[in-house]
Structure 1
Amino acid sequence: MSTQPDLLYSEEEEALRSAVRDLLTDHCDAAGVIARTESDTPHDLALWKSLADGMGLAGLLVPEELGGQGAGHREAAVVLEELGRAVAPVPYLTSAVVATEALLACGDEELLGRLASGRTIGVLAVGLHTAPGAGHRTARLADGSLHGELTGVADAAAADVLLVPADDGGLYAVAAEAATVTPQVSFDLTRPLATVTLDAAPARRLGDAEPAVRRALRAGAGLLASEQLGVADWALTETVRYLKERKQFNRPVGGFQALKHRLAQSWLEIVSLRAAARAAADALTSGADTDVTVTVAQAYAAPVAVRATEEAVQLHGGIGMTWEHPAHLHLKRAKADSIAYGTAGAHREALAALVDLQAP
C-alpha cells in the first residue's frame, strides 16, 4: 500500500528558506539586479560564491562522499523558490541542478566534486528551450575533438566547464576557454543565453548522452516549477502590499471588489502551483511517478507565473511600467521560464502520452 507524500515544508526546509532569504535580502536587492542587467556582467558571481561556497548549496544533490550535502530535490526546490522570488542572477538551476544531474547519471566523481564545491560552474550545452526527451543539437566528434555550434545555452557565459552532447552518442566535458561563447539577445537578462562555438575543442568523454541529458532536463523542468512559484508568489505579495497602501477616492485601492476578485483568483492559482511544484520536487526525490508529476507541474506552472506577473505590472499602475520597479524583472523571468525545458503545451502533449489519454 503506497503512502501519500507529505508536501508540507519540514522544519529543516523552512530553516533553509530563512537562511537563503536573509542572504538574498542583504546581497540581492532589486536595484542591484536591475543595474547588473544593464552592465556587461549579468551574473553575480559574488552572490554565487556566498550561496555555493559559503552555504554549500551547490552540492545539495551531490552525495556526501563526493563532497556534496547529500540532501534532495525538496531542499533544492526551496532554494529555487527564494532565488525566483529575488530573480537572482546566479547559475543555480543550470549548474547545481541540470549539469549536476547529468554528471550524476554519468558517475563522474571528480567533476561532481568540483561542481558541489561551487568553485566550478558547469553548464549543459543544450538549448534552454529543450524539453525532456526532445531532440537537440549535438556537436560533431572528429579525431577526439568537438566541432559545431550550439545555440540558446543558458548561463554559458559564467561556465567553467561545458557538458556537450556529441553525434557519437557521448556526453563530453569541454573547458569553457576552449570554446567561443557569444552572448545572444536574451529576453530575461538575469539568465542570459549564449551561442557556444566549438572548433576542434579538446574533450573528455563522460558517459552516454541520452540518459544523462534526459535525466538533467527532467530535473530542470521539475525544479523550474519551484522557481516559477517563487516568481509568482513575489508578484502577488508585492501587489497586495502595494494595493493596501495606494489610495484612490480616499480609500485603499485594494478595497475595491473588482481588484479583490483578481487577487483572490491569483492566490488560488498560486496555491495550486505550490502543490504541483512540491509534488514534482518530492517525486524527483522519491522516484515515484516522476515523469507524470514533473510534466503536470510544468503544464500548470508557466501560465500561472506569467498571469501573476502580468497582474503585478498592471495593478501597480504607472509605477509598475517603469524600469526602476522590479516588476519587469519578474515578468521577463516568468515569460522566459514559460518556454524553458519545454512549453506548457509540449508538457500537456507529453502528459497525454504518459497517461494514455490521446486527443480524438
Structure 2
Amino acid sequence: MTKWGQVYKPLKAAILGKKLKAGESFYTLDTLCEKYNVSKITARRVLRELKLEGLLSSAGRRGTVVTDPGKNKGKNILVCLPSSSDVDNSVYKYFQGFYHIEKNCPFKIFPVQLKYLQEKYKRINDEVVLSAGLWVGEDKDGNAIEDITKFNFLTSKFNPVLIGSYKNFNGIPSVGSDYYKGFYDMTAFVVGKGHKDVAFVSPGHIQLRHAPRFKGFFDALTEGGAPFRPELLKSNPKRDAEGIKQIMNELLSLPRPPSAVICSSDNFALMILDYCEEKGIKVPDDLAVTGYDNIGISSISAPPLTTIDGRVELQSRMVVHLLEKRMGGIDISDEYVKIDPVLVIRNTV
C-alpha cells in the first residue's frame, strides 16, 4: 500500500465510523505530518482525497473540519455547458475533470441541456453548475451581448456555481481561467522572441469574454516595447474559415505586415495554419502563430501549435470543491476563483 494510503484509509474509516465526529476540527497539515511521520506532500494528498470524498471541508479560520458523511449522500450535480462545435473540445475537458472527481465523491454528476433546466426548474432540487457563456448571445452586427433576462432567470432559480467565468459576477460563486494573465504571458513570450509587429485575432477583441484577453495582449505588447498598431487588430465574429482567409489577406497586404499573429482560440490559429500551408507561408520562419485552449488537435497540427492551456479540468475540480463547502454549511457567495493558465510552447513561434 502507498504511504498516503496507509494514512488515508484509517482516517476515512474513523470518519465513517464516527470516531471523528462531524463539525470537529481536523488535524492541521503539520499535525498530520508529525502524527503519522509523513512528508507534507503525502499529508496534502490525504487531505485532498478526504475533501474530494466529502469527508472534510474548509471552515475559514477554523481550518479543516469533519463533514457528516451522510449529509451529501445521493446529492446530484447538474452541469449545463454549451454544445456548439466551437467549444466541444473545452466541454470535453470540463467533463473529464468532473468525471474524475465523481469516482471519489458521494454524489453523481449529470450533463443537462439548457432547455431541460428552463422546463423543469420547479422540480430541480440538485446543485447546478452553469457555463458563464450560456447567456451570451450576439446582436444583428455580430457583437457579443449578455441576455440579462436569461441571466436573471438562471441565477435566481438555481443558486448555481459558474464555470468558465470571464469576470466576477458579484454574489454568484464562480471559477474561470485568468484570461488576462494567459494573453499577457503569451504576448510577452512572442515579443521576447523578437516580434514587434504582432496581430491579434478574435471574434471581437473588446467584447465581454474577449476583453481581458485583449487587455493582456495590449499591456504585454506596450510594456515589451512593441508598437500598438490598431490595423493589426482583426475580428471574425462568424468564427469561420472564410473570415480568417479575408483577415490574413488584409494583414499580409499591409506595407508592414505582422511577423506574428496571436489568436483568441486554437480554432482560429489552426485555420491560420491551414491558410499558411495553402499559401506556402512557412511557420514559424515567415509567420509565428499562437492559440488559446490547448485542444487535443493542437499538439498534432503541422507544425504543433504554441498555445495556452486554460486548465479547464482543474476548473471543474474547483467548482466541486466550492459545492462541497456550501454543502458543509459554508457561505461561498463571494467566491471568485481564477485559475492561472499555462503557456504551452511548441513549434509555431
User: TM-score band (shorter)?
Assistant: under 0.3
Instruction: Choose 1 or 2 for highest CA Rg.
Output: 2
TM-score (norm 1): 0.23
Bigger share in helix: 1
